[in-house]
Structure 1
Amino acid sequence: MNFKIWTVAVIASFCLSNGQAKADDTSLTGSWKLVSYEVESQATGKKIPAMGDHPTGRVIFTADHRVSFVLTGEGRKAGSTDADKAALLNTLVAYTGIEKTKKNEWCTHVEASWNPEWVGTTQCREFRRNGERLEVLTPWRQMPNWPGTTRSIITFTRDK
């Protein structure tokens, strides 16, 4: 192989491998374990652990663009009365649907949800990926369980 062809092959290989590494670094495909769930106040910048210091949950992205998202609050206990069972909804976020990812945003067309108002809607989330860590930010919004304008900041680590 002459030097010119070898140089072109090496440069092409380098460019392709760098592009592949970058694509893999932004991929969400796989299972991610919940680390924290915070709610931030737009007015004050104050953050609170919305579901306790040790919530549980997972988000799973499949290669065919399905997403399943389940978060539960710390210390949940089975309810024995209708009121107890209804209160458990305050410590749950769950939905599933078809997702589309573009740059640092994923949008889910919701097919099923713990909140029936979300079914048939599109929910978009900004995300930041840093290696095996995924930080998800909801849009600023008014929520019935938080005063003022807030957003959620949800942090995951990739399952191994």
Structure 2
Amino acid sequence: MFRLLGFMFVLCLVGQPSFGDDSNKVLGTWKLVSYETEVQATGEKGPAMGQNPTGYVVFNAEGRVFLVLTGEAREPAKSSQERAELFTTLVAYTGTYRVEGDKWTTKVEVARIPEWVGTEQVRSLTVDGERLQVLSPWRVNPNWADKGMTRSIVTFVRSK
């Protein structure tokens, strides 16, 4: 009986993700306060999805992250074209995550962008008290490809 209980205890430990202090700093729910795009060539920054986008990111203790961001002033679609255009003001994905130093890596399992599924998305992050800032890597974003290499600067505050 004790051997079985010991085995079950070890199994529970093995089945749980191991988090160090780095992952603990992001645990919880964070509310979006700004989403900017920076253009590498000029240093120009501007709102990526309007002045008042909405969204949340949730990092849970089981090692899963849920992120949903939407642009400002989204209206219900009246046509297929409008519905398709709404996708340019939506960021959504979930998967398992880890934080190592200033790097946040998500192994994406479900996403609005199908080509992300099965990949690891890596972001830089800083936590300053109740504020979380996330930087994407430099890349050509299909939503504003005409700007060349850009990165996203996404800022959250801890949700109360």
Q: Which residue in the other structure is 2:159 paired with?
A: 159
Structure 1 CA distance for aligned equivalents of residues 63 and 51 of structure 2: 31
Structure 1 CA distance for aligned equivalents of residues 135 and 24 of structure 2: 16
- Please list every run of at least 4 consecutive aligned residues from structure 1 whose deviation after the TM superposition is greater than 3 angstroms: 23-26
Shift of 1:24: 8.3
The answer for unaligned runs of 5 or more in structure 2 is 1-20
Shift of 1:100: 1.1
Q: Is the 8 A contact 1:105 1:126 kept in 2?
A: yes
Q: Which residue in the other structure is 2:94 paired with?
A: 96
Structure 2 CA distance for aligned equivalents of residues 25 and 65 of structure 1: 9
TM-score (structure 2 length as normaliser): 0.83
Q: Is the 8 A contact 1:25 1:131 kept in 2?
A: no
TM-score (structure 1 length as normaliser): 0.83
Between the two proteins, the alignment pairs up a number of residues equal to 138
Q: Which residue in the other structure is 1:129 paired with?
A: 127
Structure 1 segment 10-89 matched on structure 2, within 5 A = 23=21, 27-89=25-87
Task: Give the counterpart letter for 2:101 in structure 1.
Answer: K
> CA-to-partner distance for each residue in 1:77-129, whole Å, 9 max, x for gaps?
11021111000000000000000110111100000000111111110110011
Structure 2 CA distance for aligned equivalents of residues 141 and 133 of structure 1: 25
Structure 2 CA distance for aligned equivalents of residues 155 and 125 of structure 1: 13
Task: Give the counterpart letter for 1:41 in structure 2.
Answer: V
Shift of 1:74: 0.2
Structure 1 segment 111-130 matched on structure 2, within 5 A = 111-130=109-128
Q: Is the 8 A contact 2:111 2:117 kept in 1?
A: yes
Give the greater-gyration-radius structure (CA): 1
Superposition CA RMSD, Å: 1.4
Task: Give the counterpart letter for 1:27 in structure 2.
Answer: K
Give the % identical residues: 54
Q: Is the 8 A contact 2:55 2:68 kept in 1?
A: yes
